[in-house]
Amino acid sequence: MTVTPSPPPVPGTLTPEQYAQIAASIEAEVGTVIVGQSSVVRTVLLSLLCEGHVLLEGVPGLGKTKLLTTLANVVSLDFGRIQFTPDLMPADVTGTQVLEEDDDGRRSFRFRPGPVFNGLVLADEINRATPKTQSALLEAMAERSVTVAGTTRNLDRPFLVMATQNPIEQEGTYPLPEAQLDRFMFKAEVPFPSADDLAAIIGRTTGGAEAEPTAQADAPTLQSMIAMTRRVPVADDVVRHAVELVVATHPDNDTAPAHISQYVRAGASPRGAQALILGAKAMALLDGRPSASTDDVRALAPAALGHRLVLGYEAAADGVSPRQLIDSLLETVSPASSGVRGAP
């Protein structure tokens, strides 16, 4: 573990075919340990290739932590885990200054880095900590740096925070502030496995030794892939459609559909549009296509926009979820239009 700054990602030297091949091998290797959950695995992989952050939500015991530890092994990243609890302090996340005495009796402060100084950081059950501790991740997630005792220290690249949280209805949880939710590029809901998948999980975990994943990439390779993701061309109409979707989530905008005006207090931020476009670029490369499309943007809308909506009390009263609102938005705003197709 190091606290010395690292250079930004270097220009990629991979071909698009190599990019797709490596990404497929990462996905397949994760699948040797994780049963099912293909949609969740794909969302996490897209976040990795965009150097974003991802939030996984589901009840305990669904393999969220196992997925992230497996991914760290497959991509050969230094792994740090933070188990969020109500008594966790910000210094437990970022690190702290420690007073040390040398052999000559001279005392000095030395920085002891926290678990955030790793390539892949698992923030486990992030909503069990208090908001003050949750906010300790904000600077690291947004700036890829940490300030402790007036000194700013850069984090190594690539740097990704992959957080898990239990549903808010679970006892002993704290809702994440909107500012922190906005730092997550994507949010994925981890569903309960099907009967067949559950049988396969039991077979893998209650028999002999579990499968040990092998590394399929390393940090320099990931840096090249991240750089290549950003170079994928995007047509103006694709960018325009991403913008239309984000703008239509704001209830005070003229293009907002009726269901958005009724249930949403605040719409998605510009980071939502950035997530749509960056994710669409990565999806295109995964599929071996030279450019992103509106279909890519629409496929990512639930993961990129749902957690960025601030819902009003009417939504809770009527049992309306962010996913339902985004699904309805996609039916209302069509790629060929310049706005809303019609109220639901």
Q: Classify residue 3: in a domain, yes or no.
A: no
Last residue of a domain, one of 177, 204, 223: 223
- 199 and 237 in a single domain? The answer is no
Q: What CATH number is attached to the domain comprising 319?
A: 1.10.8.80
Q: Integer distance in angstroms from the first to the last C-alpha of the chain?
A: 53
Would the CA dihedral through 124, 174, 39, 277 be positive or negative? Answer: negative
Burial of 51 per CB tally in 10 Å (0-12, 13-18, 19+): buried
Three-state SS for 237? helix
CA distance 133 to 126: 9
- 176 and 268 in a single domain? The answer is no
- 201 and 259 in a single domain? The answer is no
- 52 and 157 in a single domain? The answer is yes
The pLDDT score that the predictor gives to residue 208 is: 62
Q: What is the mean pLDDT of residues 145-168?
A: 80
- 172 and 255 in a single domain? The answer is no
- 203 and 302 in a single domain? The answer is no
- 202 and 319 in a single domain? The answer is no
Report whether the peptide linkage leading into residue 158 is cis, meaning its omega lies within 30 degrees of zero: yes
Q: What CATH number is attached to the domain comprising 216?
A: 3.40.50.300
- 307 and 287 in a single domain? The answer is yes
Mean pLDDT (the chain) is 80
Q: What are 52-92's pLDDT values in tens digits?
A: 899 888 766 666 777 888 888 888 888 888 888 888 888 88
Q: Classify residue 338: in a domain, yes or no.
A: no
Q: Classify residue 108: in a domain, yes or no.
A: yes
Q: What are 169-204's pLDDT values in tens digits?
A: 555 566 777 877 888 999 988 777 677 777 777 777
The pLDDT score that the predictor gives to residue 251 is: 87
- 198 and 318 in a single domain? The answer is no
Last residue of a domain, one of 189, 204, 223: 223
The pLDDT score that the predictor gives to residue 38 is: 76
Q: Classify residue 153: in a domain, yes or no.
A: yes
The pLDDT score that the predictor gives to residue 273 is: 93
Share of the chain above pLDDT 70, in %: 88
What is the token pair recorded at 108? 């000095």
Q: Classify residue 2: in a domain, yes or no.
A: no
- 190 and 255 in a single domain? The answer is no
Q: Classify residue 10: in a domain, yes or no.
A: no
Q: Classify residue 262: in a domain, yes or no.
A: yes
- DSSP letters, 13-82, are ---HHHHHHHHHHHHHHHHTTS-S-HHHHHHHHHHHHTT--EEEE--TTSSHHHHHHHHHHHTT--EEEE
Region at 131 (left for phi over 0; alpha for psi -120 to 50; beta for the rest): alpha
Residue 7 has pLDDT above 60, yes or no: no
Q: What are 228-262's pLDDT values in tens digits?
A: 999 899 999 999 999 999 999 998 888 888 888 88
Residue 220 has pLDDT above 70, yes or no: yes
- 144 and 265 in a single domain? The answer is no
Q: What is the mean pLDDT of residues 285-310?
A: 90
- 182 and 266 in a single domain? The answer is no
Q: Which of 134, 119, 219, 212 is nearest to 174 (CA)?
A: 134
Q: How many structural domains does the chain have?
A: 2
What is the token pair recorded at 172? 């002993």
Last residue of a domain, one of 176, 203, 223: 223
Torsion of CA 74, 80, 86, 91, to 10 degrees: -160
The pLDDT score that the predictor gives to residue 238 is: 93
Parent domain of 302: 233-332
CA distance 89 to 91: 5
Q: Classify residue 337: in a domain, yes or no.
A: no
Q: Which of 117, 115, 120 is nearest to 222 (CA)?
A: 120
Q: What is the mean pLDDT of residues 154-164?
A: 84
Q: Which of 69, 48, 45 is nearest to 223 (CA)?
A: 48
